[in-house]
Amino acid sequence: MDFTKGIKGAIFDIDGVLLDSMGIWKELGARYLHSKGVVPEAGLAEILFSMSMEQGASYLRTHYLPSLSESEIGKGIGDMLRDFYFHEVKAKAGAESLLAALKAGCIRICAATSSPREHVERALERNGLLPYMERIFTSAEIGSSKHSPEIYDAASQFMGLERGEVCVFEDSLYALKTAADAGYRTVGVFDENGESDQEGVRATADIYIRSIEELLK
């Protein structure tokens, strides 16, 4: 199936789609504790997964680091996350080749992310992907999460395109459902550290891929 048929624009999620960054969210708490010389409990990643950054800092203080304040822990975790995006995270295999192919085919490209702009811009720049982006839209700046199509609509309007002319690339099921229900074409992207309901992703997306390289074939 040619996903570009009738498509004039593409909107890419960044974490888990263009950047191999989902793993950090699973190991961030343990990384921070190790940096403080503390051995984390088994299953810490699952405990912290549904928590906000503030809730996670509170949990770590209560269970591991009572001598530190929640704000100190939160800042330490934030600095570690920033360093990961600035210096460590790599692009997903095939990401630059796909963006180059789309650009060569005159398909416009934007990104929509829930991550901080500073983090993703530096990571995309370091991996050679930023020049392909006409604009990056963030949930914080739009003022709503991807449970609403507002971020995709903002990108589409910027490109001057209708929803049906735009393909959204996402690895999270809830975001795919939002885009699909709004009338966007969708590509569901597998990430080993991401969405657990891959059957849901497969059923929701117009096209489901295990890797970006599948599209390049």
Calpha distance 110→13 (Å, rounded): 9
Assess whether 125 and 64 both reside in one domain.
Answer: no
Average pLDDT over residues 199-205: 95
Q: Tell whether 163 and 62 lie within a shared domain.
A: no
Within a domain: 1: no
Q: How confident is the model at residue 1 (pLDDT cuts 50, 70, 90)?
A: low
pLDDT at residue 46, rounded to an integer:
82
Tokens standing for residue 121? 């811009």
Q: Quick one: 194 and 97 in the same domain?
A: yes
Q: What is the pTM of this model?
A: 0.89
The residue range of the domain holding 102 is 9-21+90-216
212 part of a folded domain: yes
Chain-centroid distance of CA 145 in Å reads 12
| pLDDT of amino acid 169 | 97
Say yes or no: 46 and 119 in one domain. Answer: no
Q: pLDDT for 59-94, tens place per residue?
A: 999 999 999 999 999 999 999 999 999 999 999 999
Q: Is residue 2 part of a domain?
A: no
CA pair distance 134, 150, nearest whole angstrom:
18
H helical segments located in 84-159: 95-104, 117-126, 139-142, 150-159
Q: Is 204 a member of any domain? A: yes
Residue 166 belongs to a domain: yes
pLDDT in tens, 34-48: 999 999 988 898 888
Strand order in the sheet with 9-12: 135-138, 108-113, 9-12, 166-170, 185-189, 207-209
Non-local CB neighbours of 107 within 8 Å, separated by 6+ positions: 4, 7, 8, 9, 10
101 and 166 share a domain?
Answer: yes
Is pLDDT above 60 for 23? yes
Residue 154 has pLDDT above 80, yes or no: yes
In this structure, are 171 and 201 located in the same domain? yes
Domain total for the chain?
2
CB atoms within 10 A of CB 163: 16
- Tell which of 70, 88, 106 closes a domain: 88
Average pLDDT, whole number, for the chain? Answer: 93
What percentage of the chain reaches a pLDDT higher than 90? 78
Report if residue 4 sits inside a domain. no
Residue 50: per-residue pLDDT: 65
Question: Are residues 104 and 82 part of one domain?
Answer: no
Instruction: Tell me: do 15 and 44 sit in the same domain.
Output: no
Same domain, 94 and 141: yes
Single out the residue in 50, 66, 88 at which a domain terminates.
Answer: 88
| Domain-ending residue, one of 73, 88, 103 | 88
Say if residue 76 is in the same domain as residue 154: no
Mean pLDDT computed over 2-28: 89
How confident is the model over 114-133, as pLDDT tens digits? 888 999 999 999 999 999 99
Residues 76 and 17 in one domain: no
- Residue 44 to residue 48: CA distance in whole angstroms: 6
User: Do residue 79 and residue 136 come from a single domain?
Assistant: no
CATH number at residue 120: 3.40.50.1000
CA distance 170 to 113: 10
